[in-house]
Amino acid sequence: MLIELFKAFILGVIEGITEWLPISSTGHMILAEEFFKLNTSEEFMEMFRVVIQLGAILAVVILYFNKLNPLAPSKSKEEKLAAMSIWYKVLVGCIPAGILGVLFDDWLDEHFYNYQTVALTLIIYGILFIIVENRNKGKAAKINNFNELTYQTALFIGLFQILALIPGTSRSGATILGAILLGSSRYIAAEYSFFLSIPIMFGASALKLVKFGLDFTDMEVAILLTGMAVAFVVSVIAIRFLMSFIKRNDFKAFGWYRIILGAIVVGYFALVG
């Protein structure tokens, strides 16, 4: 049992780091599972890969609770309305991926959860990050706060989030890249990406839990809770790191990292396959 909990701990660390950095949690998990494969059914693993994200999303909720809470007594009427406006824009941005995710969840897992797709999307979006950052070098962002983020732009960013339904794309990577292309500052792009993840990841986790059922063994409960708890703690650190990093740097480093990781995925599976 201790060995399985250790594996869940490692997978939780990987999830906590890679869920928020635009480097694809799926790309890392598909490699990690080669070395830290849990001794569980494939059905449990399919659910675990998604539900472990609940720990990560709780980190966003706690870190940004004050900003997102429209009911705080200490807030003025204007501040409460600003918080509600953020939630409205988040809900608008979630509509496209929410609908398609429910309709095509199983089909996407069946056809695209493989190392070839993950490696290809890692490399493609890595290249796109470098191209977009080079193109935007020296340009001033048009959207520097949430008041400047229109509902139309929020919906367009949500359309980019659809791309993240393909494994290896990175949900944060797709939304951040889309937001930057639409004129957002890196800081607002990252924050909006975090906020978009709240309903999307809660919804995806609920969908997987319903499909799996609630008939867990004691071991499965322990593995899931360990992974979620570790993902939460590591996510707090990763989010703070990213927001500090982008104050002084662009996303090109993550682009190069994705390209290198994509090549590693191809090379590893070519050797073992």
Q: Which residues pair with 176 in a beta bridge?
A: none
Burial grade of 246 (CB within 10 A; 0-12, 13-18, 19 or more): middle
Distances (CA, A) of 247 to 67, 134, 184, 243, 250: 19, 17, 14, 7, 8
Surface-to-core class of residue 268, CB atoms within 10 Å of its CB (0-12 exposed, 13-18 middle, 19+ buried): middle
pLDDT at 30: 82
DSSP code string of the chain:
-HHHHHHHHHHHHHHHHHTTTTT-HHHHHHHHHHHS--SS-HHHHHHHHHHTHHHHHHHHHHHTHHHH-TT-TTS-HHHHHHHHHHHHHHHHHHHHHHHHHHHHHHHHHHHH-SHHHHHHHHHHHHHHHHHHHHHHTTPPPSB-STTS--HHHHHHHHHHHHGGGSTTS-HHHHHHHHHHHTTB-HHHHHHHHHHHHHHHHHHHHHHHHHHH-S---HHHHHHHHHHHHHHHHHHHHHHHHHHHHTTT--SHHHHHHHHHHHHHHHHHHHHH-
Q: What is the pLDDT of residue 273?
A: 65
What are all long-range contacts of 2-7, with beta carbons under 8 Å and residues at least 24 apart? Answer: 4/38, 4/39, 4/40, 4/219, 4/222, 4/223, 5/222, 5/223, 5/226, 7/36, 7/37, 7/38, 7/223
Q: Which of 198, 267, 187, 265 is nearest to 28 (CA)?
A: 265
CB atoms within 10 A of CB 122: 30
Q: What are phi and psi of 187, to 5 degrees?
A: -65, -50
Q: How many CB atoms lie within 10 A of CB 239?
A: 22
Cα separation, 172 vs 32, in Å, equals 20
pLDDT of res. 155: 95
pLDDT of the chain, 273 residues: tens digit per residue = 799 999 999 999 999 999 999 998 878 888 888 888 899 988 899 899 889 999 999 999 999 999 999 999 999 999 999 999 999 999 999 999 888 877 887 787 777 878 889 899 999 999 999 999 999 888 899 999 999 999 999 999 999 988 888 888 888 999 999 999 999 999 999 999 999 999 988 888 888 888 888 888 999 999 999 999 999 999 999 999 999 999 999 999 999 999 999 999 899 988 886
C-alpha triplet 120, 90, 130: angle, nearest 5°: 35
